[in-house]
Each structure stands twice: as C-alpha cells, then as structure tokens.
Amino acid sequence: MDAETAYRQAIRRVAARIRECAPADLSTRFAAAGGFDAASYTHFEPGFEGAVCAVDGSNAIILDAGSFAIAAIRASVSAFARGRRLYRRTTPLHVITVNPGAGNEDFDEIFYDCFRRRPGARLDHDDPARNAAVIRDTLELWSAMEMAAELDTGDLLVLDGTLQVRHASHAEVIEALLNLCNLRGVLIAAVTKRTSLTWGGGHPIVPAAEGLARGVGVAAPWYLSVSGASGLIDRQETQTWKQRGEQYVARLHPRAARAFKVEIPGHYTPDMVDAVFSGLAAYSDDGRVTGYPYPLLDAHLTTRITQDAVEQIRQDIIHGLDMLGMSLADYIGIFGDYHDEFDRY
C-alpha cells in the first residue's frame, strides 16, 4: 500500500469513528436513553440582582529539561454587578519548578501559603504540565475561598471547569469552599467549556442535549439535568474525593453558538438551581462570545499567560543564569530542544 492510499484510509477511518460518536439519530437515541422530552428542559428568564464573581487560572511551561521543567502560574477573579465590573484581582505570577516523580516542594509551599497547612497528598504525577495545572488549581481554589468570604447572600460564584478536583489534596479544600458558600448563602457553579462527559458508550452529551432541544422546539435559554437520568452517563469517577455536584447541560442565550456543561451542588433546591442559571444567562449576552458568561471571559483574559509573557520570563531566567556564570553551551545542554532547530527549516 502506498503512502497516499494509507493516508486516505486513515482519514476515512477517523471520520467514521467521529460519525459513530455522533450519528444522525443522536438526539433520538438520547431521548430514549434518558427518558427526555420537551418537558425535561427548563426554560428560564435571565436576570440577577446580586454580584457574579468568576475565578479562572492559567499555567504555562517556560523551560523543559526533561528531568524537570519551569512553569508559570497565576489565578484571577472578576466580579460584576448590574452589568458593570466591580473589581478584578490577580495573584502574583508564580514561577515554579515542576518535576515528574515523587513530591514537589513548590506545590507544598504554595499550598501552605494559601491554606496554612501542608497538602494531604504529595504531587506525584509524571507529567510536568499536569503538575503545573494542579498547583494552578491551588491558587484558583484559594482565590475562590477569598471571594466566598467577601460575597453577600444571594451572590453567585462561578468557577471555570468543574466542582471536581484533579488531586486528592484539594478534596478537603473544595469541601470547605462549598461549606463556606452554603454558610454565607452564596451560590456556586462551575462552567465547563469542553467536557469529556459521554453517554451510551461514548456519545458526546452536550451535542445530544442540544440536538434534542432543537428537535422538540425548546427555546433558549434552557437547562437540562443529566444527572437525574439513572445510568445515562458513561463514566463515573472511581475516587470518591472526585465526586461533586449535579451535571446539567445549558444553553444560556438564544444566539449562543453552543451549550455548556454546568455543575451545581447536588443539595440545591429547584429555586436555587433556577437562580444560578438566571444569573449565568444574565451575564451571557456579550457579543464577543455570546452565550458564555462574560465574568469568566474577563477572568480568563486577565489571568492568561501569553506567549510574550512566557518569552519574557524565559529571557529573565537566562539573564539570571548568566549572572550565575552559566555559559550558553551549558544552558543548551540542559534546555536545548532539537525541535527548535527543526522549526528553523
């Protein structure tokens, strides 16, 4: 078989696999599997009297030596009320060392600085980028705790991602955050831009919910609880410390390009759930990304670590190494990447 034929066959195989995940009758199968119809969807009106505060974080690998890497992390919050920004805050930019294998001193130190105690589990992932993301999560959760302590009863705290945690050390932290929100009467939700949640052996859940809503004529904004359909969701977390909240699919604006997965604490009453979605929708009419809560967009734009920032940090590190007497040859010996050379040609 020649290379061109092999390539074309691979494209057809991949296209067939994608079509298998999202068949033409996806919404019909979804309705049957979950017992959904038009009445399963809740239509609601946007509107929110309180403040909406969003939390997001960012991490970027600066240098990678293979045996260890240097990363930058930070987190930001953006709060809005009555359509106007109240404030935005950003943690200092932390430049950290992330290594594969056992333990990470920078994680231990940042965790202690945030919560005044040592993490209950070591950071032992083999992937430096994943390690950096866990340390970023620490800053995000600390920022969320700070905001939960300041917000008023009836305000809404929005996280980017989920109410689950990716590392066991954060299990008690997210529980403390949820308890603090409950004590203070602050609503909390997490919005996921892209979810791995599937049903029926691998079908994507968000397009299925959207397709069914179109088919049965449900007008946006709407939300659909997918946790309530017993046995619908394929993957449940095996570690109990990862389990958080109830899963919803929501389309937050009539002109939204797509719906999102939203996670809300499972003990919320129907009125509290309605209030969460009304608040999200009230702040989802920004023309830049219509249908996505713009406090989260504002937090993302504030906290993101751009390529220019990465390059500036890299140059500052190189200058610091030069001041310590490291030669360019020694630097290249540690951090040199032949891909950089390949990219020149």
CA distances from 268 to 42, 171, 272, 315 (A): 15, 20, 6, 49
> Residue 260: which of 283, 235, 280 has the closest Cα?
280
The pLDDT of residue 271 is 97
| Residue 227 neighbours by CB under 8 Å, 6+ apart | 233, 246, 247, 248, 266
pLDDT digits over 270-308, tens only? 999 999 999 999 999 998 999 999 999 999 999 999 999
* Residue 326 confidence (pLDDT): 87
CA angle 97, 112, 126 (to 5 degrees): 35
- Asked if 248 and 225 count as a contact pair (C-beta separation under 8 A), the reply is yes
pTM for the structure as a whole = 0.92
Q: CA torsion 113→114→115→117, rounded to 10°?
A: -30
pLDDT of residue 242: 54
Q: What is residue 238's predicted lDDT score, i.e. its pLDDT?
A: 41
Distance separating alpha carbons of residues 143 and 140, to the nearest angstrom: 5
Averaged over successive runs of 10 residues, the pLDDT of the chain (345 residues) comes to 91 94 93 95 95 97 91 97 94 93 90 96 86 96 97 97 92 96 98 88 92 96 89 62 78 95 95 97 94 96 96 93 89 75 61
Sign of CA dihedral 215, 216, 217, 218: negative
Sign (positive or negative) of CA dihedral 59, 63, 66, 67: negative
Domains of the chain are 42-303 (3.30.2170), 307-342 (no CATH)
pLDDT in the model for residue 240: 46
Q: Return the SS3 of 330.
A: helix
**What would the two tokens of residue 94 be?**
């932390």
